Amino acid sequence: MFPILNFVSFITANGIRWLCKHFPDEFPEEYIVTAKFCELVGEFNDYGNNRRRDMAMSADNEALTDERKGKLRRFCEIYCSMKLHPSQRDSLKPSQKGLILFMESCFWIIDRLFKDYGYKYFLTAKLNTDP
């Protein structure tokens, strides 16, 4: 299920950009914001649900792991700053709280596995509930 989300996210972003370019009267430039969000969702999925070793968090390449963690943090910052419902005030919605919990738990587990148990890499998909 998650790989489809990633694929759909990037394809949708490209489709929106194409529509804005070729049909600007019907799809004004403001739609590009949605395209960018679709790309952020796809990127979050790449690093938050990876199943391939080349996408994994790596103990041997701390700079790459920090970059990937940074992309997850950036998505979290953007998503948690969004007002998801007209009645939402200053509190976070459950999906926003869940994202923070996932991200912080994921980073804590990765740090422990690398530092305390000598893991060389970690596939973040091992933390989700997708069988």
- And the tokens for 49? 């649900």
Please state which of the ranges 22-26, 52-56, 94-98 shows the lowest mean pLDDT: 52-56
**Which percentage of the chain shows pLDDT scores above 70?**
92
26 pLDDT above the threshold of 80:
yes
Q: Which of 66, 60, 63, 64 is nearest to 119 (CA)?
A: 60
Q: In this structure, what are the phi and psi dihedrals at residue 122, rounded to the nearest 5 degrees?
A: -145, 130
Q: With 50 as the cut, is the pLDDT of residue 2 above it?
A: no
Task: Kindly report the pTM of this predicted structure.
Answer: 0.83
In whole angstroms, give the CA distance from residue 63 to residue 60. 9
Mean pLDDT of 61-74: 95
Q: Tens digits of per-residue pLDDT, 91-126?
A: 999 999 999 999 999 999 999 999 999 999 999 988
Separation of alpha carbons 8 and 31, rounded Å: 17
Interatomic CA distance for residues 120 and 131, integer angstroms: 24
Q: Please answer whether residues 11 and 4 qualify as being in contact, where contact means their C-beta atoms are separated by less than 8 angstroms.
A: no
